[in-house]
Amino acid sequence: SVGEYAALYAAGAVTFEEGLRLVSERARLMDEAARARPGSMIAILGAEPDMVEGCCREASGLGVVVIANDNGAGQLVISGEQRAVEEAARLARERGARRTVPLAVSGGFHSPLMAEAAARMGSVLDTAPLNDPGIPIVTNVLADYCRTAECIRSSLRRQIAEGVRWRESMQRLFDDGAELLLELGAGEVLTGLAKRMRSEIVAIAVHDEASLLRAAEAARATQGGSGR
């Protein structure tokens, strides 16, 4: 979710320096919240969102537990207080999940345990110099387009304590005719997730000159060079 700040910089909504300041403040506030209200996260593989949501509801008597990431292709992450998270994962395994994997994280991120961090980040964002993006951004908390600075402020605040709707965000792009996806980052995780959701999509992780050239060739080939 922190990658959204890079997208906002690319879209002209925030300067590089201000983006770094906001990311640093976000990390500090989330770390403080994790220390105040400890939590954990577990990935659940080979399961449908409705089933996992039901497991979270049943386990919520033991504490906070919610879906933190819906990555599509049957890959979800749950987050919250440890006992409740472990119970929801156990229920998911009982109900057919292929595998559950505890994540090596320092808190229950993208859950109500981060509510205080979200509120404090909201105060920081209220005075941050943000611009309307020059390119519409599909934010992970809305799974829809943000076109104004105020929408961006709201989304960046909410994403701290709410789930990452990756599957729905990608589906919005697919529905709008996206044919070429470029991952600009350190790895290829998002490229793999996108291809598992839609095998025919052209998705390229750009991390060196060779992959940049492949991306340029794919862009030219997509709709005669005007691909989306």
For residue range 26-79, list pLDDT tens digits in order: 999 999 999 999 999 999 999 999 999 999 999 999 999 999 999 998 999 999
Mean pLDDT, the chain, whole residue set: 94
For residue 172, the model assigns a pLDDT of 95
Give CA–CA dist 74/145, Å, rounded: 24
pLDDT in tens, 14-25: 999 999 999 999
State pTM to two decimals.
0.90
pLDDT band of 228, cuts 50, 70, 90: low
Task: Please list the active-site residues.
Answer: 1, 110
Please list the residues that pair with 75 across neighbouring strands.
Answer: 45
What integer is the mean pLDDT of 87-108?
98
Same CATH topology for 1-32+112-158+169-176 and 39-106: the answer is no
For residue 220, the model assigns a pLDDT of 84
Q: Are 155 and 141 in contact (CB under 8 A)?
A: yes
Give per-residue burial for 34-52: e unless 16+ CB within 10 Å, then b.
beebebbbbbbbebeeebb
Residue 225 clears pLDDT 70, i.e. is over it = no
What integer is the mean pLDDT of 103-123?
98
Domain residue spans of the chain: 1-32+112-158+169-176, 39-106, 177-228
Instruction: Name the CATH superfamily housing domain 39-106.
Output: Malonyl-CoA ACP transacylase, ACP-binding (3.30.70.250)
For residue 224, the model assigns a pLDDT of 59
Residue 100 clears pLDDT 90, i.e. is over it = yes
What integer is the mean pLDDT of 119-140?
96
pLDDT in tens, 186-206: 889 899 999 988 988 999 999
- 1-32+112-158+169-176 is classed CATH 3.40.366.10: yes
Residue type at 97?
A: A
Residues 6+ apart with CB under 8 A from 122: 153, 157
Please list the residues that pair with 190 across neighbouring strands.
Answer: none
Residue type at 147?
A: R
Residue type at 79?
A: S
Residue 139 clears pLDDT 60, i.e. is over it = yes
Give CA–CA dist 68/227, Å, rounded: 32
* Ramachandran area for residue 72 (φ above 0: left; ψ -120 to 50: alpha; else beta): left
For residue 214, the model assigns a pLDDT of 87
pLDDT in tens, 142-183: 999 999 999 999 999 999 999 999 999 999 999 999 989 999
For residue 142, the model assigns a pLDDT of 96
